[in-house]
């Protein structure tokens, strides 16, 4: 009860909670503004309201063999709704409380900088859409590459902090760890990889139309980059960083969808190119890696309960939280 009261007291801790709440609010506002912006610039609503050239005309003009089909644009709606879902979950966490205070910052799995990076990502997305619509390809693609970089950095923060506090969370707030792993981390992973696919294709467009590289070659390079990135993720998830990445299951399905959009755009029944065949092989590879990951997780014993067996009582002192007990109050066992 004392900890709960201290969480409500003003001062340094209270200011940090306010900063945390403001950062979440800014992230939600940025996500809503982006959604409104995308809706207003949809070709079906006001194709020329803000720009002289609709975005799909730009994509058709500057295309590759591995450019994504038009139907893939609908996946941004699903991804943005997923992103809004984990942002709303963080907002609800400001009102739900555990023994130390608001769940969103006790323990502080996602610090204020985490949400400010999301604000930066949304600003970059809006600016890149403006640049892409106006035909400024190089600047647009440069912004496209900042989006997956920030997204993967946000993922690393989330992975590290959930693993760091998993013992305390298992005792005090087990549902918070579950929601973070399956809602926030999987949602961020889907967003990061879909952004990476768009960035790699954009790099190919710049190299073809600004660098003069021939299309069959640059399309093969794009697919090779995607393959290397996916294999790197598979090795990290299976061996090196398994304890952090084991609960992320949506990477391979989103890669299959992205490669499928490339496949359907370039597929010709009587004239299948090498890059189209390469794309189909990559889809099969992603499917196999997804199956292997699922089988490994089903067969692997869950080690998340081991710290609890060794140390059944974890005090709040092992968690870096916003609301820490004062020195005069002796930490109590949870």
Give residues with Cβ within 8 angstroms of 270, minimum separation 6: none
> Residue 293: what pLDDT?
94
Q: Is the peptide bond before 107 cis (omega within 30 degrees of 0)?
A: yes
**The tokens 């400010």 sit on which residue?**
116
* Average pLDDT value for residue range 287-293: 95
**The tokens 């709440």 sit on which residue?**
21
Q: What is the mean pLDDT of the chain?
A: 83
pLDDT classification of 312: cutoffs 50, 70, 90: very low
> Residue 7: what pLDDT?
42
Instruction: Quote the tokens at residue 180.
Output: 């973070």
pLDDT classification of 203: cutoffs 50, 70, 90: very high
pLDDT of 4 strictly over 50: no
Give residues with Cβ within 8 angstroms of 133, minimum separation 6: 41, 50, 51, 53, 54, 55, 58
Instruction: Quote the tokens at residue 254.
Output: 């989103």
> Residue 319: what pLDDT?
56
> Residue 303: what pLDDT?
52
pLDDT classification of 58: cutoffs 50, 70, 90: low
> Residue 185: what pLDDT?
97
The domain total for the chain is: 1
Residue 328 lies in a domain: no
Residue 334 lies in a domain: no
Residue of 248, 120, 97, 251 lying closest to 182 (CA atoms): 248
Instruction: Quote the tokens at residue 259.
Output: 């490669």
The residue ranking higher by pLDDT, 84 or 61, is: 84
pLDDT tens across 240-279, in order? 999 999 999 999 999 999 999 999 888 777 778 899 999 9
Residue 302 lies in a domain: yes
* Average pLDDT value for residue range 60-85: 88
- Structural domain of residue 92, as residue ranges? 2-318
Residue 332 lies in a domain: no
Residue 71 lies in a domain: yes
Which of 13-27, 58-72, 235-249, 278-292 is predicted with the least confidence, judged by mean pLDDT?
58-72
Residue of 308, 332, 304 lying closest to 100 (CA atoms): 332
**The tokens 């644009």 sit on which residue?**
73
> Residue 199: what pLDDT?
95
Which helix (H) or strand (E) covers residue 22, if one does?
helix 12-40
Q: For residue 79, count other CB atoms closer than 10 A to its CB.
A: 17
Q: How far apart are CA 107 and CA 103, in angstroms?
A: 7
pLDDT tens across 185-200, in order? 999 999 999 999 999 9
* Average pLDDT value for residue range 28-54: 66
pLDDT tens across 121-150, in order? 999 999 999 898 888 999 999 999 999 999
Q: How far is CA 169 from CA 174, 177, 231, in A?
A: 5, 6, 32
Residue 209 lies in a domain: yes
pLDDT tens across 92-119, in order? 999 988 888 788 888 889 999 999 999 9
Q: How far apart are CA 121 and CA 186, in angstroms?
A: 17
Residue 326 lies in a domain: no
Residue 79, phi then psi, degrees to nearest 5:
-65, -40
pLDDT of 43 strictly over 80: no
The residue ranking higher by pLDDT, 2 or 221, is: 221
What is the share, in percent, of the chain residues with pLDDT greater than 70? Answer: 80
Residue 331 lies in a domain: no
> Residue 321: what pLDDT?
55
Kindly write down the DSSP assignment for every residue of 137-176, as one continuous string.
Answer: HHHHHHHHHHHHHHHHHHHHHHHHHHHHTHHHHHHH-HHH
**188: DSSP letter:** H
> Residue 330: what pLDDT?
43
pLDDT of 211 strictly over 80: yes
């Amino acid at each position: 009860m004392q900890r709960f009261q201290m969480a409500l007291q003003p001062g340094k801790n209270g200011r940090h909670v306010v900063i945390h709440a403001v950062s979440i609010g800014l992230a939600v506002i940025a996500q809503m503004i982006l959604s409104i912006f995308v809706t207003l610039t949809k070709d079906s609503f006001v194709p020329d309201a803000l720009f002289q050239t609709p975005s799909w005309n730009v994509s058709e003009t500057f295309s590759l063999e591995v450019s994504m089909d038009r139907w893939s644009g609908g996946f941004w709606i699903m991804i943005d709704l997923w992103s809004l879902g984990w942002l709303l979950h963080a907002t609800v966490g400001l009102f739900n409380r555990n023994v130390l205070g608001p769940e969103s910052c006790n323990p502080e799995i996602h610090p204020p900088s985490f949400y400010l990076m999301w604000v930066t990502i949304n600003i970059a997305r809006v600016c890149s859409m403006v640049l892409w619509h106006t035909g400024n390809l190089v600047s647009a693609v440069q912004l496209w590459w900042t989006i997956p970089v920030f997204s993967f950095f946000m993922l690393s923060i989330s992975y590290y902090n959930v693993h760091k506090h998993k013992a305390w969370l298992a005792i005090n707030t087990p549902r918070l760890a579950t929601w973070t792993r399956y809602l926030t981390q999987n949602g961020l992973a889907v967003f990061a990889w879909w952004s990476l696919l768009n960035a790699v294709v954009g790099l190919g467009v710049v190299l073809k139309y600004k660098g003069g590289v021939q299309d069959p070659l640059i399309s093969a390079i794009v697919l090779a980059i995607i393959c290397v990135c996916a294999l790197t993720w598979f090795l990290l998830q299976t061996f090196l960083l398994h304890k952090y990445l084991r609960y992320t299951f949506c990477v391979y399905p989103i890669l299959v969808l992205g490669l499928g959009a490339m496949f359907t755009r370039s597929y010709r029944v009587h004239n299948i190119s090498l890059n189209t065949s390469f794309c189909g092989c990559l889809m099969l590879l992603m499917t196999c890696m997804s199956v292997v990951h699922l089988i490994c997780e089903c067969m692997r014993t869950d080690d998340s309960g081991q710290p609890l067996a060794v140390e059944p009582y974890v005090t709040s002192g092992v968690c870096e939280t916003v609301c820490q007990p004062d020195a005069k109050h002796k930490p109590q066992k949870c």
